Chain A
Amino acid sequence: MARDRNTPDRYSTALGRLMLGALVVMLLGLFLLWRIDSPRIERLRMEITDRVIPNFSAIMAPVTSAANILRSARSYTRIYQQNQELRRELQQMKAWKEAALQREQENARLLDLNNVRLDPKFTKITGVVLADSGSPFRQTVLLNVGRRDGIVDGWAAIDGIGLVGRIAGVGERTSRVILLTDTSSRIAVSIESNGQRAMIVGDNTSRPPLEFLETPETVRPGDRVVTSGDGGVFPSGLLVGQVTQTQSGRLRVRLAADMQRLEFLRVVRHQPREAIPTAGDLVGVQLPEPRGEP
């Protein structure tokens, strides 16, 4: 090959070594800086992602759609079986639909009686998934909505049915969602049947475990899990999934969201509830301070 292995290497000269040393020190410094002051570097990372990924995903759109076509083609092979299953499910669903319609009327009546006003600030922004984390040890996706669409760190992302994750990192045109399955994801939830509080702690598996339950004995598989909104950062009442039990007896959550294939995500616009700092103001009008009269 066009190379003589006996010529002295450019990088063994004094200058080369100096440059190497400088590089090593710079990289070490960058890592330590990130470890100490991670938000600033993370913002830089978000800017880079913001520049690169949207352009790239436009170029790679044919590849993505080809993969999708392949995936749907594979499902044709068992279409008969699927059809049978769907028919069966449809039968069941019809029964459910009747029940739901009755419930809906009942609900409307009760709401009318109560004069309940649902939270008007509960609106959603829909985004398309541009990219995933690309690394086996992180579970995140990148959305094509960002600061210019009003996305704020900490908001919840749902896929129409259930919670998917929370926004962590907002760029100008993109924002990153940490999925519930990521190892750094912690979401406060409550079990709907008995109102117990717990945390969902991501551990890089498709069914994250329930932690910090007070009495795990009272929780049964199949119980619905919703976000509790504890801490005031996260909206409450979003469906997360159902409790399942593993062979070893550990409680995990089967997510309601279809994590197999995330395409469109809705980001729930959420303003933290106004806190009421004092109790006295509610009771009566505050009297003027008594003047210093003798």
Chain B
Amino acid sequence: MQDPPLRVFRLQLTYLAIVALVVLVQTLPLQSLPYPFAPADVPLAITFAWIIRRPDVMSPILITLAFLFADAILQRPPGLWTLIVLCASIFLRMRTRGRKEVLFLYEWFIVSLVMGVSFLVHYFALMFTFLPVPDVKQYIVQVLLSILIYPICKWLFRLMLRFALTQTLHPSAPRTTR
């Protein structure tokens, strides 16, 4: 049974708003010294958490829009990180399609693998196009933090979905219990 299109649309808007907010909060001029360590790529973790739970909501165009915006604001090479995230999300979508709920540790393992490969591909893509590559140590810290932050994103998303369900659906609907 599919969700009503209005609800899917609302979830998509929510996703865009969350990613835009995260990106813009990162640009707040709270400190202008170089970071002592690289913070996690929160939009990436959010995207993966959403696509595993709700692949029907996360259309490729949505992901492209969100990450192109992030590329533009965060001064990354436009399109490159978006492309990598898009491919990674397609891969995750194919893996999770037609599959029952899997053990969370297994899911986390897969996600961290995909994250690691994405960052690696990004690094080598920068290198092969003769662009400045980030510092390796900081980059590894960023990958690890992104992996660590994934369960939090997933938990928050689950919380949000449950809240949204109890808000919007009438209580007699049997599908809220699962």
B93 touches A49 (CB 8 A): no
Chain A residues with CB under 8 Å of B131's CB are 35
Interchain nearest-CB distance for B19 vs A (Å): 13
In the complex, chain B residues whose CB is within 8 Å of the CB of A30: 78-79
B56 touches A3 (CB 8 A): yes
Is the Cβ of A28 less than 8 Å from the Cβ of B98? no
Residues from chain A with a CB closer than 8 A to the CB of B54 are 3
Q: How far is the CA of A3 from the CA of B39 in the complex (A)?
A: 34
In the complex, which residues of chain A have a beta carbon less than 8 angstroms from the beta carbon of B135?
137, 204
Of the residues A6, A133, A260, contact of B74 by C-beta under 8 Å? A133
- What residues of chain A lie closer than 8 Å to B97, measured between beta carbons? 5, 9, 12
The interface residues of chain A lying within 8 Å CB-to-CB of B172 are none
Closest to A202 in B: B34
Number of residues from B at the complex interface, CB < 8 A: 61
Whether A179 sits at the interface, judged by CB under 8 Å, is: yes
Specify which of B2, B34, B55 is in contact with A204 (CB 8 Å cutoff): B34
- A52: B residues at CB distance < 8 A: 24, 73
Contact of B33 among A4, A34, A260 (CB under 8 A): A260
B148 to chain A, nearest CB (A): 16
CB contacts (< 8 Å) of A152 on chain B: these are none
A179 and B35 CA atoms in complex are apart in Å by 14
Of residues 56 to 93 in A, which have CB atoms within 8 Å of B's CB atoms?
56-57, 60, 63-64, 67
CB distance from A75 to the nearest CB of B (A): 15
Chain B's interface: helix, strand, loop or mixed, by majority? loop
Report yes or no: B129 in contact with A136, Cβ–Cβ below 8 A: no
When chains A and B are docked, how far (Å) is the Cα of A125 from the Cα of B121?
A: 43
CA distance A30 to B38 in the complex (A): 26
Given that A11-B60, A23-B60, A136-B142 are contacting pairs, would A28 and B79 also be in contact in the complex, using a CB cutoff of 8 Å? yes
In the complex, what residues of A have CB within 8 A of residue B77's CB?
Answer: 31, 34-35
Q: Is the CB of A23 within 8 A of B64?
A: yes
The answer to whether B165 touches A2 (Cβ under 8 A) is: yes
Report if A261-B32 is in contact (Cβ < 8 Å); known contacts: A9-B93, A30-B79, A35-B129: yes
Give per-residue flags for B72-87: 1 if the beta carbon is below 8 A from chain A beta carbons, else 0: 1111111110110011
Min Cβ gap A134→B in Å is 4
B79 and A6 within 8 A (CB): no
Are B90 and A20 in contact (CB-based, < 8 A)?
A: yes
A24 within 8 A of B: yes
The answer to whether A259 has its CB under 8 Å from any CB of chain B is yes
Indicate if A110 sits at the interface (CB-CB under 8 A).
Answer: no
A132 lies within 8 A of B32 (CB): yes
Give chain B nearest CB distance to A129 CB in angstroms.
5
A45 at the interface (CB under 8 A from B): yes
In the A-B complex, the 6 residue pairs with the smallest Cβ-Cβ separation, listed nearest first, are A134-B27, A134-B26, A30-B79, A31-B79, A136-B38, A131-B27
12 contacts between A and B (CB under 8 A): A1-B175, A2-B169, A2-B176, A27-B79, A27-B82, A34-B78, A35-B77, A134-B23, A135-B26, A136-B34, A206-B34, A262-B29
Known: A28-B79, A132-B29, A142-B27. 18 other contacts (CB 8 A): A5-B98, A11-B93, A19-B60, A23-B64, A27-B79, A35-B131, A45-B78, A52-B24, A56-B24, A57-B28, A60-B25, A64-B28, A131-B27, A132-B28, A133-B27, A133-B75, A136-B37, A136-B138
